[in-house]
Chains A and B, each alone.
Chain A
């Protein structure tokens, strides 16, 4: 048997400490993360709907797409903005999403305490949104663009909590809306970074 067969790790991958990624690598890595999180966000949204019962799973169910704690879906004109500005918007949105996701997780923990995977996904999504936001800001920093400081989390969380106090259904709708926003902004970020990746869409 050749050495290749017996070796689990490629010699090239032996370095245990990654070198400071240069811009291109960082953009590539952040783009990959955004792509991965887009998939995860899709799975989260599907799983969230699954656990909310009717009418959330019905085909015709379409609650109003209202802003949540000042966070709205990416604007239609978002794609026309300069890359740095788009990434700044992405980073801002991503910084708002984790507290919202935490609020949704807490609410779901009361409503669906046995939906451990959903709860785990919501927890992971908050963490991943923070990681993606930090990565986008790192790209912005590497690009030399200004980064906008995140909004104070308590304010966002308080706003979200206030929204859920209205009742179970509004809380579920809020969760649905947050999960939807999470998917949209992650997807948007993926698109925006994709334009920066060498060989990606212009």
Chain B
């Protein structure tokens, strides 16, 4: 009873709670339909119905309803007022996939209230699925797939339905991630026709594909044959027998097969003719295979009548055909060692291993025979591919055969000519060129019949020796490619030697690249000579290791700091080039690029400065100037020398030192002498050997003026008073100045006496310093003493000054007379 009461209380609580919550959440109205799904492009109408209670509360009616889609108000033109409480909105041609539609009212105070909201989902009904097809993987369940048609934008379910004539099978519903295929849940039964179709359904409709009716065995994809094995036959080296185990379905249906095979190193498959494998079988013998060659096989099957699907390929199986005797003789050549002992030479016979398709088995050894002309044959068995033997200088015939488990190859024959054999008859028009990533060699065959050609090649390098590889070609071949492991950007030296019956012909060589590339280093340019307006550039040829191709040309780029770059192309054979029209005293930057057929590479930049003057230009200016200067100087010196008297007189007259003056005897009859440098003579004791005597000639037609005589008298007086104190006028000297020297005591008188006279003479007063001249003469003073020497002896200053003045006046007169005399003399000499 208590339990019942508790239960009732709980029930009432829940009831009231629910009711009250319902009241709280009771909207003002609602929209119909509630969750519409609309077809894209169709029309749609929604109706909003207001509740009376709400209308009264908010004092609104249907006229106050406005609609919004995705928060955007819908134009009122799309509204329809159905009655007081209901308003509808109509959309035409819906194109949005997802629309939020709300019904709203505007209450008192322009406050918008949201009444109700719905979400309109748009989409398309499903299209009829097409291309329904099924596959039955053997041992697995049937899987069908189809094209679903257009995008519906809605959740669309696809259901694969199937039935027999006698019963229906369970539906196969697609998974969300694979809506276009479905695998049935039951094992298919072969030989019973089944009908299959697909139903596509979403909110906007349901559609069914066409029904297909088939026997599952006609849609089967068998499991591939397994345990494929390959066995060879010792009797036949050209066959391999395949055996396999068929899949279990072979018990009910006939199978046909595809058998494919290839050699181990091949990438493409060959196929056995399908008509040979058109029925169920467990083995097959493949014929026409190469001996001692590994073949890889694979096999697949399908229903014999071609209905259904091919199985996957089986796992690959391989087998090797049995050996056969070598089908070809090895390539055979020789090299003669450089060292040669008297009467013998060392010959290295070399040969190539046979390729597998010619060896037809494992080569066990080689048999070499050597036959000297008209001599016994010698047999050797060699395991290597070279053999060195000393032979005489005679001609030899060598043969070579390769041997495998089954037999021997044909013999390769080689004539080793005698020591003095002169090779001739080379091939002509030898060419080498790359093509299809191979280096081809082509030549014109000599007129004579050639047994075979030997092609040798090696990589030219500055760092490594030329290690030769070689190959042999038949005598009918005149174009082949080098079958070595050639590298790109390497220079190959290729030689072709025709081999005649009597020995090898002379060789022809050519250089070639498999593939050229730009040089890995550019040439280093430098200046050989730089002139004012030109520069001679020089460079070294690039080493062959960095050329990477044939250097076709060089380009020299040069520029100043501010100028544009200039490019000059230079032929590859040159190693120097002269840049002309350069600007003097300018810094130039020059670099050089070397070009192959594939591009170029710049070398380092080099700078040089053009000089301001051309070579020899300075010398051309300086030397003439110097010469001119020297010449002028010389001429000046000569002139001075010639005119020294005149110059001395004007520029540097001798100023006699009165303290060292001598009074010479006036000797009108003494011829004038002009020895100016004989001081010693002049100052020798009592001898005036170097005295200039001015002769006052009568030719002047003048007699001594009385003033002069008067002065002489005065002089005499003074002489008496001064007891031999002498005075005179010095001769001219280049190193002395001409300056009149006058006496301070008798200046006015002296000036009057000398101004209008020409009486110049040195009055040499006898008795100077206790010397008594025999005759009274006028003599020039040869003194070099400074004029003011008397300052050192103040006691003599007064007298000396006076004497000096007198003598200067006399000297001037004498100088004038001398000039006139010289002029006259010059006239006479000229005449």
Contacts and interface: CB of A to CB of B under 8 A. Distances in A.
Nearest to A121: B187
B743 to A, nearest CB: 144
A127 B132 CA distance: 25
Interface of A: 1-2, 4-5, 7-10, 12-13, 16-18, 29-30, 32-33, 35-36, 39, 124, 127-128, 130-135
Interface stretch (B88-96, B211-219, B464-472, B540-548): B211-219
Interface stretch (B164-172, B383-391, B625-633): B164-172
B212 to A, nearest CB: 4
Contacts of B252: 32, 35-36
Given A9-B309, A18-B214, 6 more contacts: A5-B258, A10-B308, A13-B303, A16-B212, A17-B212, A29-B191
21 contacts: A5-B258, A5-B260, A10-B302, A10-B309, A10-B310, A13-B219, A13-B309, A16-B132, A16-B212, A18-B214, A32-B190, A32-B253, A36-B190, A36-B191, A36-B252, A39-B251, A124-B189, A130-B164, A130-B166, A130-B167, A134-B164
A1 B270 CA distance: 9
Contacts of B526: none
Nearest to A25: B215
Nearest to A29: B191
Query: Which of A7, A8, A30, A39 lies at the interface centre, i.e. has the most chain B CB atoms within 10 A of its CB?
Result: A8
A112 B447 CA distance: 96
Given A10-B308, A33-B192, A131-B189, A17 B166 contact: no
Query: Which of B211, B271, B307 lies at the interface centre, i.e. has the most chain A CB atoms within 10 A of its CB?
Result: B307
B166 to A, nearest CB: 5
Contacts of A29: 191, 193, 215
A13 B133 CA distance: 11
Contact of A16 (B166, B214, B274, B303): B214
Given A13-B306, A16-B133, A18-B193, A127 B167 contact: yes
A33 B218 CA distance: 13
Contacts of B211: 17
A8 B166 contact: no
A45 B795 CA distance: 180
Contacts of B133: 16
Contacts of A13: 218-219, 303, 306-309
Nearest to B303: A13
B642 to A, nearest CB: 119
B137 to A, nearest CB: 11
B306 A10 contact: yes
Contacts of A4: 258, 271, 274, 310
Query: Which of B164, B192, B212, B307 lies at the interface centre, i.e. has the most chain A CB atoms within 10 A of its CB?
Result: B192
B191 A33 contact: yes
A16 B251 CA distance: 25
Contacts of A127: 164, 166-167, 189
Identify the 5 closest CB pairs spanning chains A and B, nearest first.
A33-B191, A13-B307, A10-B306, A131-B192, A12-B306
A138 B310 CA distance: 31
B269 interface: yes
Contacts of B809: none
Given A32-B252, A36-B191, A39-B251, A131 B310 contact: no
B290 interface: no
A25 B307 CA distance: 14
Nearest to A30: B191
Interface of B: 132-133, 164-167, 186-187, 189-193, 211-215, 217-219, 221, 251-253, 258, 260, 269, 271, 274, 302-303, 305-310
A35 B250 CA distance: 12
Query: Which of A12, A17, A39, A124 lies at the interface centre, i.e. has the most chain B CB atoms within 10 A of its CB?
Result: A17
Contact of A18 (B213, B251, B258, B309): B213
A68 to B, nearest CB: 22
A4 B164 CA distance: 33
A10 B258 CA distance: 13
A12 B166 contact: no
B747 to A, nearest CB: 143
B190 A33 contact: yes
B269 A1 contact: yes
Contacts of A5: 258, 260, 269
Contact of B164 (A2, A12, A30, A131): A131
Contacts of A7: 310
A131 B166 contact: yes
A201 B260 CA distance: 37
A2 B313 CA distance: 14
A12 B306 CA distance: 6
Contacts of B307: 10, 12-13
A132 B167 CA distance: 12
A8 B306 CA distance: 11
A8 B309 contact: yes
Query: Which of B189, B211, B212, B274 lies at the interface centre, i.e. has the most chain A CB atoms within 10 A of its CB?
Result: B189
Contact of B310 (A8, A17, A33, A128): A8
A81 to B, nearest CB: 24
Contacts of B164: 127, 130-131, 134
Nearest to B248: A39
B89 to A, nearest CB: 49
A18 B253 CA distance: 17
Contacts of B306: 10, 12-13
Contacts of B310: 4, 7-10
A7 B269 CA distance: 16
B145 to A, nearest CB: 12
Contacts of A36: 189-191, 252
Nearest to B192: A131
A9 B311 CA distance: 9
Nearest to A13: B307
Contacts of B187: 124
A24 to B, nearest CB: 14
B190 A8 contact: no
Nearest to A28: B191
Nearest to A133: B166
Query: Which of B132, B164, B166, B190 lies at the interface centre, i.e. has the most chain A CB atoms within 10 A of its CB?
Result: B166
Given A7-B310, A9-B309, A32 B166 contact: no
A91 B306 CA distance: 31
A39 B191 CA distance: 14
Contacts of A33: 189-192
Contacts of A130: 164, 166-167
A2 B271 contact: yes
A11 to B, nearest CB: 8
Nearest to B214: A18
B191 A18 contact: no
Contact of A134 (B166, B217, B253): B166
Contacts of B274: 4
Contacts of A32: 190-191, 217, 252-253
A35 B252 CA distance: 7
